Amino acid sequence: AQTVTQSQPEMSVQEAETVTLSCTYDTSENNYYLFWYKQPPSRQMILVIRQEAYKQQNATENRFSVNFQKAAKSFSLKISDSQLGDTAMYFCAFMNRDDKIIFGKGTRLHILP
């Protein structure tokens, strides 16, 4: 069975700093997708970034980038120049070919002014 592990329940960083959120996963599949979703307080979940496992190049979306290490089954999220609006729960997630997303337990990120 696939699992997703986020080892950092909570993190705090100063505004404008860079922060990295960790995620590891376990699967025997070779083709799959990895995601980071953001859930702001009392607001709905939105997709931050998406990585296809067959692509070696790390995905980037503006200030958000990932470090995808397929052999190590590691998928960390780096947020550069953090902003107050980045305060949220961040979920690492995995999807294989059956189109079912498996989420980690989340990391609560606080951006401090």
Partner 1 sequence: DTGVSQDPRHKITKRGQNVTFRCDPISEHNRLYWYRQTLGQGPEFLTYFQNEAQLEKSRLLSDRFSAERPKGSFSTLEIQRTEQGDSAMYLCASSSPEAGRAGEQYFGPGTRLTVT
Handedness of CA 3, 94, 45, 40 (dihedral sign): positive
The contact pattern for partner 1, residues 21-40, with x = CB under 8 A and - = no contact, is ------------x-x-x---
Interface region with partner 1, contact rule CB under 8 A, candidates 21-29, 46-54, 56-64, 78-86:
46-54
Q: Tokens 């089954």 appear where?
A: 73
The DSSP 8-state label assigned to residue 37 in this structure reads E
Nearest distance in Å: CB 14, partner 1? 25
d(CA 20, CA 80): 9
88 binds partner 1, rule: CB under 8 A = no
In the complex, what is the shortest distance from the CB of residue 17 to partner 1, in angstroms, rounded to a whole number?
A: 25
